A and B are shown apart, each in its own frame.
Chain A
């Protein structure tokens, strides 16, 4: 006889939140709905375009699975674990000290929910992994022959089990607490401009090595063609890493502006001086990355460095101004859509250049994905 599923407050709470978000999205004004639609469309289009471009030029999957199978599967395990562990930790913490923690069903219900959630994500990862391997290896007779089939199933499963096991670890909490204490000691007695810069730097350091970055670096390996020299591989990885971190830093600094608007509004500091304090890092980043991009593209003999450079700078300035102005008007949710819309326009313009580098596309996808995850 089938037994009725016991009530799970955590699962119910998450379902209700999703329902509320969906209902709220339908109630948004038409401009926001249009932006959301464009955002989802871009996400749906850019992925296949990027993958098909990679598939045309790269044979890395064949090489990796044929020659360096243990390293490849170890990398898959690390990437999978890196994306699952933070989720598992967040859920575990919510179950042990969150708003539902004192209910009779806890922590058993939370553990059950987390196990199911990770199992679903594991299945999705297996499907994506198999799909990607088949798609990215045209001409390769069977990339998942023999033991690879088994590994494609067991490696994400092993990562899921490890993430479940690691979710109860306490050492990470202690590390975060110490970091905050160190920051608060450093910022005592400093001027506002220095505090703001240290705040932005701390915000960037918090997202320096996130699961999204790990996945992006993993995905970047696919761009390296077969037979590339060691120097070529190193330069590709270095440039890719710099692009991702620049995007990361940008997003982190935009978030600090939003947070600051709530915290510093009551201070008798002029908006201009605050804006200036918050703009130093973003402008340094825009300047340095713009210069490097310009020099790099010129060295490659590309005919379109100026257009890309202008777009990058325009995006930087527009994002900063929009974010700052909107943040000071206390509309913290809007800047993210504005950033997305600016990036979308950038993507559409970049698409018109047939020679746009895949790296630019990858950076854009990473940025959009992060926006989506944050939403």
Chain B
């Protein structure tokens, strides 16, 4: 089976400083990866590399079998990327943004599933208002919806729970679980919320100074937590504190 995401020997340097160093990992469809690490550890840079927004100095990224270097258009067609909310255009309405992304994916209009997700997240009352009038949480909802349009094989979400109210956060978690289990999407989520990893994710990678410090799948997570008698949150915090 083709991996939804394959990262091989990925390294990137900014100026003299190495931001990501020799990263290797692969994810299958239906997997949910939590990307964890302290501020500046390289999570967002890694996401940008996977989205093809940053060109790595070395290494290769395959999205659903398509190389970002050689088949950029095909690779991006299989990718949903969460736009940073301050980049959203203030002069467009939420519906116009969604329509634009839907048409970019070859759809004639906003898919009914997306409108349903908007309803579920409590975004519908805002959908026809200009983005400049949105609150932080509402912008976040729009960013998430843009990434989820048409349920692509790989979805990249950078701290999606930031700014969401508890009701919307729970709705999002349910939506992501459904996307991963029923629609076979692979979801990569950068997060600082360690408490949700155990209940939501099937895979966790901890980044530290641009290197992979831990790379555990579901079986390993279970094994480590039961051996130590600790929650995953405690295990990760302990590992980060030890360095």
Q: Which residues of A contact B (CB under 8 A)?
A: 7, 9, 12-13, 16-17, 20-21, 96-106, 108
Contacts and interface: CB of A to CB of B under 8 A. Distances in A.
- With most chain B CB atoms within 10 A of its CB, the pick from A98, A102, A104, A108 is A102
Nearest to A94: B87
Contact of A98 (B52, B87, B104, B130): B87
Contacts of A97: 53
Contact of B89 (A17, A102, A103, A105): A17
Given A12-B100, A12-B103, A104 B92 contact: no
B104 A101 contact: no
Interface string B31-67: 0000000000000000000011100000000000000
Nearest to B84: A99
Contacts, number: 55
A104 B53 contact: no
Contacts of A104: 73-74, 76-77, 104-105
B55 to A, nearest CB: 10
B12 interface: no
Contacts of B105: 104
B88 interface: yes
B63 to A, nearest CB: 11
A13 B77 contact: no
Nearest to B147: A102
A102 B92 contact: no
Contacts of B123: none
Contacts of A21: 91
Contacts of B93: 20
Given A7-B103, A9-B104, A102 B81 contact: yes
Contacts of B130: 20
Q: How large is the interface on B (under 10, 10 to 19, 20 to 34, 35 or more residues)?
A: 20 to 34
A97 B84 CA distance: 10
Interface string B93-113: 100100011011100000000
Nearest to A17: B91
A102 B100 contact: no
Given A9-B100, A9-B103, A99 B87 contact: yes
Given A9-B104, A20-B93, A102 B51 contact: yes
Contact of B76 (A12, A99, A102): A102
Contacts of A106: 76
A100 B91 CA distance: 14
A105 B73 CA distance: 7
B213 interface: no
B176 interface: no
Contacts of A7: 103-104
Given A101-B53, A102-B83, A103-B76, A13 B104 contact: no
B92 A17 contact: yes
Interface of B: 51-53, 73-74, 76-77, 79, 81, 83-84, 87-89, 91-93, 96, 100-101, 103-105, 130
- With most chain A CB atoms within 10 A of its CB, the pick from B74, B79, B96 is B96
11 contacts: A9-B100, A9-B103, A13-B89, A16-B92, A17-B89, A17-B92, A20-B91, A20-B92, A99-B83, A100-B100, A102-B76
Nearest 6 CB-CB pairings of A with B: A102-B81, A104-B76, A99-B87, A104-B77, A17-B91, A102-B51
A333 to B, nearest CB: 11
Given A99-B88, A104-B73, A16 B53 contact: no
B95 to A, nearest CB: 10
A17 B100 CA distance: 12
Nearest to B82: A102
A108 B81 CA distance: 18
Given A13-B89, A16-B92, A17-B91, A102 B103 contact: no
A20 B87 CA distance: 18
Contacts of B96: 16, 20
A102 B92 CA distance: 18
A319 B92 CA distance: 31
Contacts of A96: 53
Nearest to B51: A102
Contact of B92 (A13, A101, A103, A108): A13
A97 B89 CA distance: 13
Given A98-B87, A99-B83, A102-B83, A13 B100 contact: yes
A13 B97 CA distance: 8
Contacts of B79: 102
Contacts of B74: 104
B4 to A, nearest CB: 16
Contact of B52 (A9, A16, A102): A102
A96 B91 CA distance: 20
Contacts of A9: 100-101, 103-104
A352 B74 CA distance: 65
B212 to A, nearest CB: 23
A266 B53 CA distance: 36
Nearest to A97: B53
B53 A102 contact: yes
